[in-house]
Amino acid sequence: MYPWVSWNPIGGCYHRCSYCYLNFFPAYDIKPRLREKELETNLGHGRTIFVGSASDMWGSFVPAEWIRKVIDHCKKFENRYLFQSKNPMRFFDLEMPESVIVGTMIETNRDWLVNTKALAVDQRAMALSYYKAGVEKMVSIEPICIRCLG
């Protein structure tokens, strides 16, 4: 679906979105954890890497120190990094790698349709719009929730 590879150094997510594909994996542990072994991964060069595609490493439930460790590892390699979050306000807190794409996910324009503990969609969009000028930004619209009641 996307022209990049995924790397998941932080696992777990407390957003508990009713539509999340991870709900279909009963063994998926929602408890956030830093996968220290992943910080030894050679990320190569010249790639676009979606960091945290199977969690929200920017969620309020993730310690800032874990995020710093991931970012520091990213800075060792000349790649573009996509950081997508349902809590994009945390992007303001930490210094990003030089080549970065920041994004958020929008499911609907009707918060009452979405069963999630994540930040409201209008707040996500607003926070992303205020993020630094000149930084590449993206919004993914997935799933498009007409009925995301859980």
Residue 88 lies in a domain: yes
Residue 150 lies in a domain: no
Residue 53 lies in a domain: yes
> What pTM, to 2 d.p., does this model score?
0.81
DSSP states along 11-62: E--S---TT-GGGG-TT---S-EE-GGGGG----SS-EEEETTTS-TTSTTS
Residue whose C-alpha is closest to residue 61's, from 18, 13, 93: 13
For residue range 94-109, what is the model confidence (pLDDT) as tens digits? 889 889 999 988 876 6
Residue 148 lies in a domain: no
For residue range 30-81, what is the model confidence (pLDDT) as tens digits? 788 999 999 999 999 999 999 998 888 998 899 999 999 999 999 999 999 9
Can you give the residue range of the structural domain that contains 96?
5-141
Residue 99 lies in a domain: yes
Number of domains the chain is built from: 1
Residue 51 lies in a domain: yes
